[in-house]
Amino acid sequence: MSTADDIAKAAELLAAATRPVGFTGAGVSAESGIPTFRGAGGLWEQFRIEDVATPEAFERNPRMVWEFYNLRRRAVFQAQPNAAHTAFARLEEIFPAFVLITQNVDRLHQRAGSRRVIELHGNLCETRCTNCGRVDDKSGVELGDLPRCEACGGLLRPAVVWFGEPLPPGAWAQAEEAANRADCMIVVGTSAQVYPAAGLVAMAKRHGAAILEINLEPTPVTPLADVSIFGRAAEILPAVVDRAEWMLQSGRGSRVP
């Protein structure tokens, strides 16, 4: 099938849905200039997970961990949401029941206007005190190499979920509930290798959801997809949303849950 045919098929499945859910990974922010983790130029080519993204790494060398996160914070604060983020925000307008589950920590979905966002892995904007637990939004703030809590002087950490740490219970429960009730899941820009997040696709599929995937290349969830479109998220997703919206406006779909 041509990409145009795939876009038409994806739009048809989306327009037929009443409870669609989005599921995104780092690839949705790639066209905003935010490096992904895996693949060419990915973060894990320059850094080792064990050195910068685990509680043990922070315990062992908090300065190195903060160097990694300060670098990513700067990139995120200078970045702008792209057309894929905007397309997801539009889905909230089109589908009252739409919910977005993201593994991303850059909050570009929220900056693009998405409000119903479930952050599975925390975010880079906030810090959390390792001593008193205080959480502060430090968006745009240049933090030193060992930032301290204003309240108690304790060492701050990024408010992200590191490997080996449990996901925020509330977020995980919300994500499971959304995946179980979805009748369509749009999976964009994830290598589907990190668990338990990646398991949400099979969960949605098991409960009868149509699976639409947009990625540059096949992933472990491609076999689960009703349609997989290989291309750039900022180009493909807006085209799918445009066509689905046109179908709904011309009365060829139903969006009331």
Q: Could you tell me if 126 and 136 are in contact, meaning their C-beta atoms sit under 8 angstroms apart?
A: yes
Q: Judged by CB, which is closer to ligand BV8: 24, or 183?
A: 24
Piece of 38-46, 108-116, 171-179, 238-246 that binds ligand BV8 (CB under 6 A) = 38-46
Query: Of these, 17, 34, 73, 104, which contacts ligand BV8 (CB under 6 A)?
Result: 104
The item of Zn ion, ligand BV8, none sharing an interface with residue 155, based on CB under 5 to 8 Å by kind, is none
The item of Zn ion, ligand BV8, none sharing an interface with residue 88, based on CB under 5 to 8 Å by kind, is none
Element (H, E) at 7: helix 3-15
Q: Judged by CB, which is closer to ligand BV8: 90, or 102?
A: 102
Distance CA 236, CA 80 (A): 18
Q: How far is the CB of 226 from ligand BV8 (least distance, A)?
A: 18
Q: Is residue 121 flagged as an active site residue?
A: yes
String marking each residue 201-220 x if it binds ligand BV8 according to CB under 6 A: -------------xxxx-x-
Closest residue to ligand BV8: CB criterion: 27
The DSSP result for 137-191, as a single string, is E-TT----SS-B-TTT-PBEEEEEPPTTSPPPHHHHHHHHHHHHH-SEEEEES--
Q: Residues touching ligand BV8: how many (CB under 6 A)? A: 35
Q: Report helix, strand or coil for 74.
A: helix
Q: Report helix, strand or coil for 129.
A: strand
Nearest to 129 by CA among 116, 117, 138, 139: 138
Q: Could you tell me if 53 and 69 are in contact, meaning their C-beta atoms sit under 8 angstroms apart?
A: no
Q: Judged by CB, which is closer to Zn ion: 1, or 152?
A: 152
Element (H, E) at 186: strand 184-188
Q: Which residues are catalytically annotated? A: 121
Residues that bind ligand BV8 (CB under 6 A): 25-27, 30-31, 36-39, 42, 53, 103-105, 121, 160-166, 189-191, 193-195, 214-217, 219, 232-233
